Amino acid sequence: MQRNDDLSRFKWLLVSRLVIFLLICGAIFLFLRKESLLYLLLVLYGLGTLVYLFALRRGSKIGEGTPYPFFLGFQLFFEVLLEGGIIHYSGGVASPFVLLFIFSIINGSILFGLRGGLIVATWAGLLYELIIWLENKGILAKPVGSISYPVDKIFLALYLYICFFFLAAFLSGFLAERLKERAEELRSASFQLKRAKLETDDILQHMRSGLITLGQSGRIVYFNRTAEEILGKQREEVVGRSFEEVISPCFPELGELMRESLYSGKGESRGELLIQGEKGQIPVGINTSVLRDNQKGIRGVIAVFQDLSEVKKLEEKMRKADRLAAVGQLSANVAHEIRNPLSSIRGSVEVLKSELKLDGEEGKLMDLIVKESDRLNGILQDFLSFARPGKGKFEILDLRELVNQVATLLKKEPVRPPEPRIEVKLGDKPLWVKGDEDQLKQVLFNLGLNGLEALEGEGWLRFEALHSRDGKIRLAVSDNGRGISPSVREKIFQPFFSTKRGGTGLGLSIAERIMEEHGGQIEVKSQMGKGTTFILTLDEERDVRE
């Protein structure tokens, strides 16, 4: 900021020198005798102006290598000295160019304040007295044709001029100081205004709600970062354009809401809208407010909207939890009532089978009853595990060990296709998590088994640790099987939904429930014909000493 002030003063000094230079040239050529030394002084004065111009063109490098005030002070000293020479060769005490000192005094006040003006006035007065004294003593030759004045008139002239010098210094210095104070106040106010504007803009840009502001004509004057993310449009491409051009064609309902508010002068709150974004439909909660001026005229409209996707997911989780709680309450009673007679039936059949020597169809029917009883008991056990999972014994575990154990078990599974590759890529560092060993193994085994069953011919199943961040461990269970269609992918975690023949549809539901009990989550990514990836996310236990 100080450098900008210096440049401004420097420009003023340059302009004043150019004006003085032109005045001197005109006066010398029109009214004075053509003294050769006057030409020399004029050339030097012009060179000084060129120095100023060169320094100004250098911009931020003004005075480089020397203190800036010293540079300007030297120029003023040189300027007054040249003006003294011009005054001597243009008539001495009778010279009309004594007023040149006044310009230099004013420059000194502008550049250095009252103190600078007084210093320049003192230097100009001393130089002027010295010139007159040297002329009267004959040390300096008077110009040809100059008029001799009595000593009393010379003294009066000196006295008046010096008074004028100091009066000019006081007046210009006082005005310069007042201007400086006003400039400081203006600069401070401008800085505070800019700061307030920047802080306000920073706050609005980091709001978690989208914000669009329309002017009276319907042009967009503000568009924050969250609005960019929700609507998929950049600030640069919409600000300054009509909302009818950039909002209404892509988001008709949002555009209609803004139009109603702008033309009716009433704010609207419609609760929710569905906006078609780049990743599908986004539920948005929105309301608008009308900006008015002092005469209650409409100045514009503010639209504030929020992405409700996470809220909707949370609501769905809460509804699901409520359903599961009800299912758990019911399942405990139903399973108890079914398992007791089922055990009696199976036991009775075993006794009859051992006592009666049944052959042919009767024997097969007995075996079928036992087999189906076992299958029904397994379904009930899975149902109970899903509806009321056990609390489990939580301890610090290395996820790598669990994955290696599950991979060994999967290699012995008879359902696996010929020669599958089961790959484990977990790195060298332990993956410490807190959980129940048996439950986490159950999740990993179910995902691995599903991956093997999805393989067609030769294929691979891979357990891979993804990049850890935010204190989370992410484990991917991937295969290159047939993949899962989008319609099925939306339902795979629903209880009793299965695409496998004879499947209970509880495996993935139990896996999701276990992950929730562990404070983690399970996600699925799949592409038809290219395979499926399940991503498990768990909190990392960092305070573990090996």
Pick the range with the lowest mean pLDDT from 134-138, 183-187, 382-386, 435-439. Answer: 382-386
Average pLDDT of the residues of the chain: 76
The span from the CA of 234 to the CA of 224, in Å, is: 9
Coil, helix or strand for 421?
strand
Predicted local confidence at residue 347, as pLDDT: 73
- Residues near 321 by Cβ (< 8 Å), separated by ≥ 6? none
Task: Tell me how long the chain is.
Answer: 546
Residue 397 or residue 276, greater confidence: 397
| C-alpha–C-alpha distance, residues 462 and 425, integer Å | 7
Q: How many CA atoms lie within 13 A of 261 on its CB side?
A: 30
Instruction: Give the position of tokens 């935010």.
Output: 470
Average pLDDT over residues 82-98: 77
**Reported confidence tier of residue 106, pLDDT bands at 50, 70, 90:** confident
Check residue 463 and give its pLDDT.
93
Vertex 382: Cα angle to 379 and 384 (nearest 5): 110
Query: pLDDT confidence of 230, banded at 50, 70, 90?
Result: confident
H runs (alpha helix) in 232-359: 235-238, 243-246, 252-264, 309-355
Q: 505 is written with which tokens?
A: 């549809």
DSSP 184-246: HHHHHHHHHHHHHHHHHHHHHHT-SSEEEEEETTSBEEEE-HHHHHHHT--HHHHTTSBHHHH
Residue 389 makes CB contacts below 8 A (sequence gap 6+) with 439, 510, 513, 514, 517
Instruction: Report the chain's C-alpha Rg in angstroms.
Output: 47
Token digits for 277? Answer: 């974004």
Residues pairing with 273 in the sheet? 284
| Distances 523 to 60, 229, 401, 520 between C-alpha atoms, Å | 58, 23, 22, 10
> What does the alpha-carbon distance between residue 216 and residue 301 come to, in Å, rounded to a whole number?
8
Q: How far is CA 363 from each of CA 130, 355, 357, 375, rounded to the nearest angstrom?
A: 142, 12, 8, 18
Q: Does the pTM exceed 0.75?
A: no
Q: What would the mean pLDDT of 498-527 be, rounded to a whole number? A: 80
DSSP one-letter string for 206-221: T-SSEEEEEETTSBEE
SS3 137: helix
For the ranges 185-199, 378-392, 393-407, the one whose mean pLDDT is highest = 393-407
Confidence band for 55, pLDDT divided at 50, 70 and 90 = low
Is the pLDDT at 63 greater than 70? The verdict is no
Rounded to whole angstroms, what are the CA distances from 126 to 315, 487, 516?
Answer: 90, 99, 93
> Do 89 and 41 touch, CB atoms closer than 8 A?
yes
Could you give the domains of the chain? 2-188 (no CATH), 207-307 (3.30.450.20), 313-387 (1.10.287.130), 394-539 (3.30.565.10)
pLDDT tier at 2, thresholds 50, 70, 90: very low
- The answer to whether 20 and 41 are in contact (CB under 8 A) is no
Query: Span 358-373, mean pLDDT?
Result: 74
What would the pLDDT profile of 454-510 be if each residue is shown by its tens digit? 887 678 899 998 876 678 889 999 998 888 888 888 888 777 677 776 566 677 878
Angle at CA of residue 458, ends 453 and 462, nearest 5°: 65
pLDDT at 60: 41
